[in-house]
């Protein structure tokens, strides 16, 4: 769990520290977290803790850098239709003695639209957060989970 937090939160903090002198009014910091930070599950505790911590540090950066006109944002996609997701699904399929397709369908059933988030949708969200109008969203986490989240923020 410590490694997950170090990679996700520590990595973002190290990046912010490295670019701080180049940041000016209108600059955007955009972190990519994951939906487990707000919708925990028994099998992804490390991801949940790391993402929740990332959401918090983004809010902290929003407060710390806001006076300079710099905003901080987080995107929480998941699960995203990537090679990594397919590797995880293949491992589950092998463990459960079912097909990869069955596991993927089961994973999709957690979504209210029966879908995974795509990398293109994540790219769209990042582009949107770079718009001037996105300054109103500073410190917030944008959920891109295809309707998986069940609770309120």
- pTM for the whole thing? 0.90
Task: Quickly state the pLDDT bin for 153 (edges 50, 70, 90).
Answer: low
Per-residue confidence (pLDDT) for residue 152, from 0 to 100: 63
The structural domains of the chain, with segments of one domain joined by +, span 2-79+118-144, 82-115
Q: Is the pLDDT assigned to residue 75 strictly greater than 90?
A: yes
Task: Quickly state the pLDDT bin for 140 (edges 50, 70, 90).
Answer: very high
Model confidence over 111-138: pLDDT tens digits? Answer: 999 999 999 999 999 999 999 999 999 9
How high is the mean pLDDT of the chain?
94
Asked if residues 7 and 50 have their Cβ atoms less than 8 Å apart, the reply is yes
Which tokens hold the place of 115? Answer: 């879908």
Instruction: Measure the CA–CA gap between 95 and 61, rounded to whole angstroms.
Output: 41
| 146-151: average pLDDT | 82
Instruction: Measure the CA–CA gap between 63 and 29, rounded to whole angstroms.
Output: 12
CATH number of 2-79+118-144: 3.40.50.720
């Amino acid at each position: 769990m410590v490694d997950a937090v170090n990679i996700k939160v520590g990595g973002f903090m190290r990046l912010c520290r490295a670019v701080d002198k180049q940041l000016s009014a209108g600059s955007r910091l955009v972190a990519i977290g994951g939906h487990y930070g707000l919708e925990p599950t028994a099998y992804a505790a490390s991801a949940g803790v790391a993402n929740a911590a990332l959401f918090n540090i983004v809010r902290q950066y929003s407060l710390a850098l806001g006076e300079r006109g710099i905003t901080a944002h987080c995107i929480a996609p998941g699960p995203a239709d990537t090679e990594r997701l397919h590797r995880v699904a293949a491992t589950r399929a092998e463990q459960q003695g079912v097909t990869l397709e069955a596991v993927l369908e089961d994973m999709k059933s957690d979504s209210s639209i029966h879908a995974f988030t795509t990398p293109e949708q994540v790219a769209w969200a990042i582009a949107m957060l770079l718009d001037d109008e996105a300054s109103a969203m500073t410190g917030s986490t944008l959920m891109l989970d295809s309707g998986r989240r069940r609770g309120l923020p």
